[in-house]
Amino acid sequence: MLHETDARYSLLMGNDSKEIGKPDLCAVKRGDTNFQNLEVNLLYGAYDYQRFVLRIAIPNLTPLREHWTMAEQINLGPMDFFPADWSGDGALDLVMIKKSYTGTQVRIFSGADKLQTILFEAEINLGKTDDTWTFGMGKWGEGEKPDLIAIKKSSTVTKTTEVYILKGDDRFRTAKLQTQTALHETDSKWDFVVADWNGDGKPDLVAIKKSETATKCTEVHVLSGASSFQEFSLRAETPLFKTHGLFEFAVADWTRNGKSDLIAFKKRETATGNTEVHVMTQLV
């Protein structure tokens, strides 16, 4: 089991095609680790996240490592993590996005060898990024590699949340899509996950509004990839009350029925004193 967690931890979940059963929980820790490096804790889904499969540090393979982690007392800075099968071997790799005013960096660590190898490392053609940006991956149209999907939440020309898709096959040098969406500008009360929500083969944009909703509950709004994010395929409330500041979210097929489920990680202020996993499944 994993103790209560804070801003130093990013909680991830996804489906590895080589595994059956419940997806595993990945907790990435940076700052104040035993190794002063990125530290990954993997909890086994088959044991309901009560047992660690792996606790490992990502090695110092580049001279830029000192910028990846920061001491606890320092602002952790904008950085995104998410799982994706970059290598195409069926195993989930760990994608790290380092956002800054001097450029945006992407590093992908191999899941096949316990994150000890960097599969990809480059600064991408996106310019400066900050906390108004968030990221995911998915295959947009043809191509062997998954594409990088960048979501610009606010301070946009169109006054909407915008999506930029960079081509994975040419190391994210070319834009496949740059568009406004049907969703207004968003802020820190919103989380975003890229996932094929409806199973049509196109990545969708799952937007979770965590507070200040009309229903007083956490809401889910799914922007359809098939419409290039111009239409909603789902707008629904969830059983969760306000989640801003306490929860992180992921999308995975937890039930293994071929449908995406919404995973909510409660990081602190839990009754158990541990990080909790809440799973909300699709009824239809």
Average of per-residue pLDDT across 236-263: 94
103 pLDDT higher than 60 = yes
Which residues, at least 6 apart from 272, have a Cβ–Cβ distance to it below 8 Å? none
9-281 placed in CATH 1.10.540.10: no
Alpha-carbon gap, residue 119 to 96, rounded angstroms:
11
CA angle 133/139/144 to nearest 5° reads 125
Alpha-carbon gap, residue 233 to 188, rounded angstroms:
23
Q: Are 182 and 231 in contact (CB under 8 A)?
A: yes
| pLDDT at residue 34, rounded to an integer | 54
Average of per-residue pLDDT across 151-177: 97
Alpha-carbon gap, residue 60 to 168, rounded angstroms:
25
The pLDDT > 90 percentage for the chain reads: 73
- Collapsing DSSP states into helix, strand and coil, what is residue 95? strand
pTM of the predicted model, to two decimals?
A: 0.92
- For residue 141, count other CB atoms closer than 10 A to its CB: 10
Per-domain residue ranges of the chain: 9-281
- Collapsing DSSP states into helix, strand and coil, what is residue 226? helix
| pLDDT at residue 72, rounded to an integer | 41
First to last CA, the chain: 31
60 pLDDT higher than 90 = no
DSSP code per residue over the chain: --B---TTEEEEE---TT--SSPPEEEEE-SS-TTSS-EEEEE-GGGTT-SEEEEEEPP--STTGGGT---TTS----EEEEEE-SSSSSSPEEEEEE--TT-EEEEEE-TTTTT-SEEEEEEETT----TTEEEEEE--SS-SSPEEEEEE-SS-TTSEEEEEEE-GGGTT-SEEEEEEEEEE---TTEEEEEE-TTSSSS-EEEEEE-SS-TTSS-EEEEE-GGGTTSSEEEEEE-S----TTTEEEEEE-SS-SSS-EEEEEE-SS-SSSB-EEEEE----
The residue type at 221: H
pLDDT tens digits along 189-244: 999 999 999 999 999 999 999 999 998 999 999 999 999 999 999 999 999 998 99
| pLDDT at residue 63, rounded to an integer | 45
| pLDDT at residue 76, rounded to an integer | 47
The residue type at 245: G
Bridge partner list, 277:
265
